[in-house]
Amino acid sequence: MYNLYVHYPDNTLRIVQVDETGSYYDPSLVIWDERTQGTMPQEYIDADAAVVAANQAAKQAAIDAKVAAKQAAIDKLLALGLTQDQIDALLS
């Protein structure tokens, strides 16, 4: 597999793997191609790792926010006197 460093439509820069005969759908977005330009510079590898980490952190934050909102709603229902069984029935 070979690495391409490409400019994604969402305005991020990412590493994409292709086989020896593979290509990226829009060659004008390819910034670095290991097949023709050699080993990818470390700065591109580091930048890709930062984008991946930021994306994972954003996804986890969204999940955490949903869990917190659900728990807050459950807590309000419990405060109103509903039983856990009633709340479970509402949520199913």
Residue 10 has pLDDT above 90, yes or no: no
Give the pTM.
0.60
DSSP calls for 2-52: EEEEEE-TTS-EEEEEE-TT---S-GGGEEEEHHHH-SPPHHHHHHHHHHH
- The predicted model gives 50-67 an average pLDDT of 94
Tens of pLDDT along 38-50?
999 999 999 999 9
Cβ atoms of 30 and 6 within 8 Å: the answer is yes
Q: Write the single-letter amino acid at 22.
A: G
Residue 24 has pLDDT above 90, yes or no: no
Q: Write the single-letter amino acid at 50.
A: A
CA-based angle 20:26:28, to the nearest 5?
A: 100
Residue 68 has pLDDT above 90, yes or no: yes
